[in-house]
Amino acid sequence: MHPLLLRVQHTFSAGVTNVSDWRGDVSVTVTRDKLREVAQFLHDDPGMDFDYIVHVSSVDWPDDEERFEVVWEFYSIRKRQRIRLKTRVPESDCVVDSLTDLWKGADFMEREVYDMMGIRFRNHPDLRRILMPDDYTEGYPLRKDFPLRGKGWRDTFDFLDEVPR
Amino acid sequence: MAFEDQRTTVYKVNPEHPESETLPTLRTEELLLNMGPQHPSTHGVLKVILELEGERLVKSTPVMGYLHRGVEKLAEDGTYHQFIPHTDRLDYVCAMYNNFAYCRAVEKLLNLQVPERAEYLRTIVAEVQRIIGHQFWLSAQALDIGAMTVFFYCFRDREILLDWFDELCGARLTTSWYRIGGVERDLTPTLIDKLKQFLDYFPPKIDEYQVFLEKNRIWLGRTKGVAVISAEDAVSFGLSGPVLRGSGVDYDLRKYEPYSAYPKCEFSVPVGKNGDTYDRYWIRVMELYESVKIIRQCLEQMQDGPIMADAPSVTLPPKERVFTNLEAMIQQFKLFSQGFDAPPGEIYCGTEAHKGELGFHIVSTGGGKPYRLKIRAPSFIHMGAFDHMARGYMISDACTIFGTYDIVMGECDR
C-alpha cells in the first residue's frame, strides 16, 4: 500500500472506510464526522503538508444509502505528492464541514458543489449559488434526477410545431 | 457648494461650533458599483459588485455564471470521444490545450500509451497554443491598461499561428485536433517548414513587445506593486500557472509531473519574486522564449512513426479508411454510437495549460459514457482570489486584476 495511505489509516483507523491506489491516484474515504480531523491532519502534519487545494468535486450515487460523495483533491507543493479525500453523505442530511479555514480556495469550490449538487457546507462564510442564478429554485443540475433534456415544458408550447424527440 | 443636492447632503450641527450649521458636510456612504457583465475589460460576461470607499475597493463580489452551459452535465450524456469538441468551448482562446488535457485524462483512465511521435506532435502544438495564449493575454492586458500598440503587434504574429492551425486541422480556434490515443493528423513538411520559419522570426518580435512595455511609465506604474499576493496565500487559494509562479512558488506540472515529450526537452520555468502584476507579465513573456525552445527541440528529436495508439477498440480509425473499408466504418459507427468500454474507476489528471492547471476528474462506472466529469478550471479558481487581491486598490486596478488572471469566461462558467 502507498505510504501516505498507511499513515492515514494508522492515524485514523476507525474513521477510514476505504483506501485505494488506482492508476497512481491515491485516495482515502473517511466517515463524515472524521472529515474535519483528517483534513486538519493532511494540512498540518509535516509528513503530509498538503498546502495546495486542487479542486472540490461531488458525485451522485442515487441508489446508495449515502447518496452523495464529496471529493477533495490536495497537492503538496514542497513534497510534490497528491491525495484525494472523499466522504459520503445521505440525502436526508447532506451537510459536511467546510474546509475554507484550512484552504482559502475552498470557498468558491464548495460554493460550486453546493450550487450543482445541493450539498451544504457547515461554517462556510458565504454559501450561495455561484453559477446558477441566486433565485433558481428548480433543483441542483448535476444530480442524476435532474433531467438532461428539459422538463417537458417545451411540449406544452402550442405555438411550436411538433418536434420529434 | 458646487454640487449641493438636497437628497445627498446632510446638514450637521456641531454644538461646539454653532456657526458650522451654515457649512454643509457631504454625507459619506459606501457605494456599490456594478462592473460588468458588459464591461469590455471583463473578458466576457463577468459581473463584479464593487464596494467602494471613494475610489478604493473595500470588497468585491464576483457574480459568475452568465456563460454557464452545463458542460459537465452534457459530458454525462455523450461518449468520451464526443466530449472533445465541447472542451474547445471551455477556454476558447486556447482550444488545443483543453483537448490535450481532456485526452490525457481519458488516456489515464484507460491506461493507454500514446506513440512517441504523437507525443512530440502533441507537445509542439500545445506549445504553439501556449504562444498564442500568451500573445492574446499580453495584447488584452496591455489594451486594458492603456498600452494599445502592443495589441496590434501581438495580433499580427498570432495571426500567423492561427493560419498555421487552420492549415493543420481546418479551424483557427475550435480545433479538436487531439484524439484519445493520439492526434488527428500528422504535420506535413510544409507545416514543419512554416513553423521553423516562425521560430526564427518570432524571438526578435518578443523583444519588440517588451520594448513597448518595459520603458512605458504608464505600464510600469499600473503593474508594479499592483494586485500583490503572497506565496502562502497564492498556494492556499489554489492558484496555478503564471499567477502562482509570480509569487515565487515553483509549481509547473510540465516539470514536476512530466508528461508527453516535456521530460525529453530542456527548458526552464521562470519564477517571479514579488507576486505583483509585473512579475506575472514577466513570467509569461519569458515563457514565450521557453516555448520556442521546446518546439525547436521537439522538431529536432521527432522521429517518424505512428500518430495513433494501436488500440482499435478505443481509438478512431483513420478517416481515409472509414470511407473505403467496411470494418473501419463499423468501428467508427460503434465508437460514436456506443463508445468504448472504459474500466470502472476514478482518476484526476492535471495538465499545465497556459492559464494554470487544467484538470479533469473523471468517475467511470464502466460503459461508454463518463458517470461524472468535473473540470478544474483555472479561471474559476483564480476568481476566488479576486476579492483578496483587489482589496485596497483603485477601481481602475480591477481591470488589471481580471487581466492578470488571463480569465476566459467560457472556462470559468463552463
In a domain, residue B52? The reply is no
Indicate whether B10 belongs to any domain. no
If you search the block for the grid coordinates 521560430, which residue do you land on? B199
Chain-chain contact of A71 with B251 (C-beta, under 8 angstroms): no
Residue B218 within any structural domain of the chain: yes
B13 pLDDT above the threshold of 60: no
Averaged pLDDT, A134-158: 82
Note whether A51 contacts B235, CB cutoff 8 Å: yes
Range B145-156 average pLDDT: 86
* pLDDT, tens only, B17-68: 555 555 566 667 778 888 878 777 667 788 888 888 878 888 888 888 888 8
Residue B296 lies in a domain: yes
Query: How many domains is chain B partitioned into structurally?
Result: 1
Range of the domain at B239: 70-378
Question: Nearest CA to B107 among B178, B169, B187?
Answer: B178
Q: Which of A52, A128, A60, A35 minimizes the C-alpha distance to B62?
A: A128
Residue with cell 480591477: B398
- How many angstroms away from the CA of A105 is the closest CA of chain B? 4
Q: For residue B29, what pLDDT is reported?
A: 72
Tell me the mean pLDDT in the region A135-148: 85
Supply angle C-alpha B114, B341, A83, rounded to 5: 65
Kindly report which listed range (A99-113, A114-128, B12-26, B176-190) carries the lowest average pLDDT score. B12-26
pLDDT confidence tier of residue B5, bands split at 50, 70 and 90: very low
Q: What tens digit of pLDDT does each residue of B322-340 get?
A: 888 888 888 888 888 888 8
If pLDDT is split at 50, 70 and 90, which confidence band does B9 have?
A: very low
B275, part of any domain: yes
Domain boundaries, chain A: 3-156
- Please tell me the predicted confidence (pLDDT) of residue B1: 39
Q: What is the pLDDT of residue A165?
A: 52
pLDDT exceeds cutoff 50 at A139? yes
Residue A56 pLDDT > 50, yes or no? yes
Q: Which pLDDT does position B22 carry in this prediction?
A: 56
Q: Which residue has the cell 459514457?
A: B369
Closest-CA residue to B246 (of B206, B267, B277): B277
At B78, which CATH number? 1.10.645.10
Q: Is residue B392 in a domain? A: no
Q: Does B65 contact A25 at a Cβ distance shorter than 8 Å?
A: no
* Phi then psi dihedrals of residue A29, to 5 deg: -105, 130
Q: Which whole number is the average pLDDT over B66-89?
A: 88
Residues of chain A positioned with their CB less than 8 A from the CB of B256: 80
Between helices B189-214 and B149-169, what is the axis angle to 10°?
170
Predicted pLDDT at B257:
86
Please write the tens of the pLDDT for every residue from B388-403: 888 888 888 888 888 8
- Give φ, ψ of A20 to 5 degrees: -150, 155
pLDDT greater at residue B276 or residue B8? B276
CA atoms of B351 and B106, how far apart (whole Å): 12
Residue B406 lies in a domain: no
Lowest mean pLDDT segment, chosen from A134-143, A144-153, B4-13, B52-61 = B4-13
Whole-number average pLDDT of chain B: 85
Q: Structurally, what CATH architecture does the domain formed by A3-156 represent?
A: 2-Layer Sandwich (3.30)
pLDDT attached to residue B25: 66
Q: Is B77 at the interface with chain A, CB within 8 A?
A: yes
- Angle at Cα A64 formed by Cα A62 and Cα A69, nearest 5°? 75
Q: Which residues pair with B349 in a beta bridge?
A: B360
Are residues A66 and A85 in contact, defined by beta-carbon separation less than 8 angstroms? no
Kindly report the length of chain B: 414
Q: Is B111 part of any domain?
A: yes
Question: Which chain B residues are Cβ-neighbours of A104 within 8 angstroms?
Answer: 233, 236-237, 384-385, 388
* Residue appearing with cell numbers 454525462: B76
For residue B17 the three cell numbers come to 461650533
User: Looking at the predicted structure, is the pLDDT value of residue B177 above 80?
Assistant: yes
